[in-house]
């Protein structure tokens, strides 16, 4: 075993070792025990310190056993339920029990191989029941199953399983690349959805703003026209009072003709205005006045009924 030391090894200096062999004295180091035999049969476990082993009576030192905490990393290749080959790396921390040192020394010839065999058995029985994603999520359950099996088996050989960890799960390189691509595609899909949602909200807000703007513009135009009508009405009433014998129709025709010529002047004064062809003459002016008057009367009629 890797944790045993042969009986012929001495921890004393060469002169002291020679003297110790003559006097049948051995030294057991700290965190170590020694196994004493008499005529090839187990006699006792020697604790750390100086011990006398008289060879003339058939006593001899069979070997040493370390009580230090040891670690064994086991790499096991297996297949998941969805047919993906993975390498599962388990880290086993164990140590020999001082009160069962004879079992640990005599019952096992290779402790690490025995532990490795149990780890292989449990991992290859657990992982094939899980999909790849579930294997990553349930690695603590796998470690717990390995530890329980090892404790049950190794306690009979004088060993304690301190802790078991699944430190790594490595899928095949092609599988890892495919998983990364799937993850990247999912993130791009979420980003595109969020971007589309943001653009949708922006368009809705823009449409609401345009609707509100048009609504306010309509209110402004309506108020402007109402003010024009009120001004015309006041002008007609004032002119009729100051000039006896005139009717409201005469005053309205004169006001409309005046506005008609003001409009013509503004069109001609504009620097970038396009050419506008409109009928001109006494008859045309009368027709324009009639059309405007009819439109104003219809608007007033609708406002009265509303």
Computed over every residue of the chain, the mean pLDDT equals: 79
In this predicted model, what pLDDT tens digit does every residue of 107-138 receive, in sequence order? 888 889 999 999 999 999 999 999 988 988 99
Both 56 and 138 in a single domain? no
Q: In sequence order, which residues have a C-beta less than 8 Å from that of residue 248 and are 6 or more positions away?
A: 236, 240
CB 86 within 8 A of CB 135: yes
In this predicted model, what pLDDT tens digit does every residue of 235-283 receive, in sequence order? 767 766 776 666 666 666 666 767 767 777 777 676 565 666 666 565 6
Token pair 């899928």: residue = 171
Q: How far apart are CA 12 and CA 23, in angstroms?
A: 13
In this predicted model, what pLDDT tens digit does every residue of 79-106 receive, in sequence order? 889 888 899 999 999 999 989 999 999 9
Mean pLDDT to the nearest integer, 206-234: 82
- Residue 159: CB atoms within 10 Å: 25
Q: Pick from 133, 153, 171: which residue ends a domain?
A: 171
Q: How far apart are CA 273 and CA 267, in angstroms?
A: 7
Q: Pick from 66, 89, 116: which residue ends a domain?
A: 66
Domain membership of residue 49 as a residue range: 25-66
**Residue 273 DSSP symbol:** P
Note the pLDDT of residue 245: 67
Q: Helix, strand, or coil here: 63?
A: strand
- Residue 241: CB atoms within 10 Å: 9
The answer to the question of residue 29 being in a domain is yes
Which parts of 127-247 fold into alpha helices (H)?
132-137, 139-154, 173-242
Output the six-digit token pair for 65.
Answer: 């056993």
Both 48 and 140 in a single domain? no
Note the pLDDT of residue 248: 66
Residue 260: its H or E element = helix 248-269
Q: Helix, strand, or coil here: 206?
A: helix
Both 56 and 135 in a single domain? no
In this predicted model, what pLDDT tens digit does every residue of 60-79 receive, in sequence order? 888 999 999 999 999 999 98
Q: Is the model more confident about 172 or about 229?
A: 172
């Amino acid at each position: 075993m890797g944790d045993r030391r042969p009986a012929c090894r001495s921890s004393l200096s060469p002169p002291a070792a020679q003297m110790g062999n003559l006097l049948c004295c051995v030294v057991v180091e700290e965190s170590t025990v020694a196994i004493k035999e008499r005529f090839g049969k187990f006699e006792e476990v020697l604790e750390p310190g100086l011990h006398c082993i008289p060879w003339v009576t058939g006593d001899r030192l069979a070997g040493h056993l370390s009580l230090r905490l040891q670690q064994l990393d086991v790499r096991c290749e297996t297949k998941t339920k969805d047919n993906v080959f993975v390498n599962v790396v388990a880290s086993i921390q164990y140590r020999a029990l001082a009160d069962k040192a004879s079992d640990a020394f005599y019952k096992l010839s290779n402790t690490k191989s025995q532990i490795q065999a149990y780890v292989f058995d449990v991992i290859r029985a657990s992982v094939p029941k899980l999909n790849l994603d579930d294997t990553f999520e349930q690695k603590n359950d796998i470690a717990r199953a390995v530890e329980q099996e090892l404790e049950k088996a190794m306690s009979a050989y004088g060993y304690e399983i301190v802790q078991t960890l699944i430190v790594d799960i490595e899928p095949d390189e092609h599988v890892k690349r495919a998983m990364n691509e799937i993850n990247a595609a999912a993130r791009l899909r979420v980003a595109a959805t969020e971007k589309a949602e943001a653009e949708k909200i922006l368009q809705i807000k823009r449409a609401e703003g345009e609707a509100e703007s048009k609504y306010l513009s309509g209110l402004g135009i309506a108020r402007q026209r109402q003010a024009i009508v009120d001004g015309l009405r006041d002008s007609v009433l004032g002119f009729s009072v100051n000039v006896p014998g005139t009717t409201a129709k005469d005053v309205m025709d004169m006001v409309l003709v005046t506005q008609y010529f003001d409009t013509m002047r503004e069109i001609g004064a504009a620097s970038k205005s396009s050419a506008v062809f409109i009928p001109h003459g006494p008859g045309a002016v009368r027709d324009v006045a009639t059309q405007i008057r009819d439109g104003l009367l219809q608007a007033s009629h609708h406002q009265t009924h509303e």
